[in-house]
Structure 1
């Protein structure tokens, strides 16, 4: 037996290939949008993919389960509760199947979603590992607030949190302490608050170190779990629906993206996503363009700022970067929204002036300060007294709340989000100077919440 873990750092996503070496057959769990790494693994081991397990319809990435099934003949197994619109076999508690000497059995573990299934892997009657999807993560559990309005089944976050309490305690924590835990996500995923950077664990280690598994009442668990959850990106509901239906094949979908020649005139009224470095962007860009740079979890921020019904142009500094960005866009299923992709910018009419950081440091009260961090970040680590907190995913809809009587300075925690934010605010306030504090934010001390409250 061999368990191979595949990682996508941009989405903090883990997927798995389990090889039964005796029969040279592979079971996949929660595959990413690009199926090629799994085909490569199968070829390298002279093996065949025979099954694909989906722990739930994912909100933060698009899965290749349907494409893989079409190409290889593999059986897709999902909970009957998912309401899958593609050919599949139901895989719920009491169901199991074997591949060589390996047995895979289902545990219904609702909480992150109503249709979540964890899969226990056994060999020779001994439980070896459990693939927990987003139910149990390393040092955390999945967030319970993503399925209130989307999916075949919906439920209020409080009800899902209660289900998660029982799923962890009555299903997963009853497994042996040495059973390996393989989750679908790690630190940095917006499917949880997880900060632990480990990629796997054991049931025993999680009982000791996971705050969500410590002895506590259901009421206390629900209260703690629901506090300070991250924002919900605009694309999450869209991806749940796309995964429920099954996404189009990856490579053909990429080929359908229109590549435009440098200098092509862009259609008026279509959003422009300019992924060039912020220093280059500020020197000149198309009017109204939004500066979402290649690094810094591009796909997450694209899907947080841009809605799943908006078409957009995608601009990059060079051809290789453009190809990478199109692939990142496809990870969240947004590639059909690309009106056209091109290198460079067709217009440099708009600019963003550089902030005199020392003048700002000396007299911050002379500026309107906009903090585009999450509400919890703003509350727990305030930087400037009186700053207006407009979280980046909400900023396009809330620029009207920004006063225009003083120059505006936009900041985040490290500079990436403020580059996006300032590019959104500037065209919305054409008569007001707008500046990006950028990486200089790191030179300002974090104020304690108590100090900020009394400032």
Structure 2
């Protein structure tokens, strides 16, 4: 597993100008640094929570960070725009509709920022949110690139259903979907075909449903291949865009509001997290949730009472923010100190670091989960209650067990009373990672009454509706 750093996706270099892409692979997030070499100045777009990679980049060029542009208040990660402003004096730019609590300069339709031979032009492109903007980069008098935020992705466009209940500007998804239809056609598609497209997210984000694995494109290429730019009626576009969108994690609304306020500085927040070197389990508050990130096989061999197994992996942040409610205190534990330190930083990328009651390494525990009796299950499926923790759109596409009860993982803690206690429980997902968390949640509630099993990766062997 890669260390938690922002990796450089690519560098586009022309005479006196550089565009550097940074990638947070865990949240499938792209941020950008635009460098005017002739003036040694940098403007950042949609930076991640930890500003250090941008500071290191600026130091390499002996350049000054003069601005940070937020394309919208992000739902899936926390931005470092306020800290960068406080550390460097850089101006924060955002659309005036955003309603932010930090000092900023409005960057509305038609507004421009010029430095060196670079001109950045704001396009108001509502659809993902009412206050979304895209930024066109003009260099030497020609449009060269557009930073599309969550408006236009490679192969897709932004989802329109995240502002129905959060943010200062709430809007119905149908209303935003119609705005997206016009933003794409009246703004994006009117740019020249050769203009490069740099989105805020790639494949793996929950801000869209069909993103490509590519990290850049052109307007011309997207006109040919992106479904959202094809010829269709507005009604047909709205119907397609709204259908089968991914679930919305619990933390999304919290992050929108936090990004509108501006998050606290990253390093001081890391130093505030209490790390226990010698754990005495008796000192832990039994009412506080334990998030155990160790591998599922080790977790099953021994863990703390009531622990939820959110396995260390690429989707840790997503499932942490889907299972744990904003402002809910929790203990964080991992297999070793290195993983623990990384997971604390990754927790901060969604703004949850303040909710860590304490963090520590765990080697074992008194609670053991039983081994899945696979052969008996295959022969006697009726003897078990099968819980499917996949999302509803996944279940619609493919049913694995016809008599299963579908409770999506992100809803399981709130709907735990719906799980019948009359028979042993088998929990499954699509590949095994979510069922580890799901089975641990159910076991914490019912494990003393009935056996709870994790089908794990064996689910791949069940290709038909019932075995």
- The TM-score bracket by the shorter chain reads over 0.9
**2:389 match:** 372
Q: How far apart in 2 are the matches of 1:249 and 1:36?
A: 11
**1:95 match:** 111
Q: How far apart in 2 are the matches of 1:173 and 1:359?
A: 58
Q: How far apart in 2 are the matches of 1:384 and 1:296?
A: 27
The count of residues paired between Structure 1 and Structure 2 equals 448
Q: How far apart in 1 are the matches of 2:174 and 2:118?
A: 37
Q: How far apart in 1 are the matches of 2:321 and 2:65?
A: 31
Q: How far apart in 2 are the matches of 1:101 and 1:222?
A: 39
**2:332 match:** 314
Q: CA deviation at 1:386?
A: 1.3
Q: CA deviation at 1:29?
A: 0.4
Q: How far apart in 2 are the matches of 1:406 and 1:267?
A: 31
396, 400, 421: which one aligns with 2:413? 396
Structure 2 residue 67 is the aligned partner of structure 1 residue 67: no
Q: CA deviation at 1:268?
A: 2.1
Q: How does 1:116-195 map to 2 (within 5 A)?
A: 116-195=132-211
Name the CA shift for 1:166/1:446 in 2 (closer, same or farther; >3 Å): farther
Q: CA deviation at 1:446?
A: 4.8
| Contact kept in structure 2, 1:296 and 1:416, CA below 8 Å | no
Structure 2 residue 281 is the aligned partner of structure 1 residue 269: no
- Give the stretch that moved more between structures: 401-410 or 4-13: 401-410
**1:58 match:** 74
Q: How does 1:245-260 map to 2 (within 5 A)?
A: 245-260=261-276
331, 337, 347: which one aligns with 1:329? 347
Q: How far apart in 2 are the matches of 1:167 and 1:426?
A: 48
**1:352 match:** 369
| Contact kept in structure 2, 1:20 and 1:101, CA below 8 Å | yes
Q: How far apart in 2 are the matches of 1:423 and 1:27?
A: 45
Q: CA deviation at 1:228?
A: 0.5
**1:290 match:** 308
The C-alpha deviation readout for 1:247-292, integer Å capped at 9, x for no partner, is 0000100100001133232112011101111111111111111000
Structure 1: 4+ residue segments shifted above 4 A: none
225, 230, 246: which one aligns with 1:230? 246
The C-alpha deviation readout for 1:403-443, integer Å capped at 9, x for no partner, is 22221100011111000000001121231211000111122
Q: CA deviation at 1:150?
A: 1.3
Name the CA shift for 1:446/1:207 in 2 (closer, same or farther; >3 Å): farther
Instruction: Quote the RMSD (CA, aligned, Å).
Output: 1.2
Q: How far apart in 2 are the matches of 1:280 and 1:442?
A: 21
The C-alpha deviation readout for 1:58-108, integer Å capped at 9, x for no partner, is 000000001111111111100000011111100000100101000000000
Structure 1, unaligned runs of 5 or more: none
Q: CA deviation at 1:364?
A: 1.9
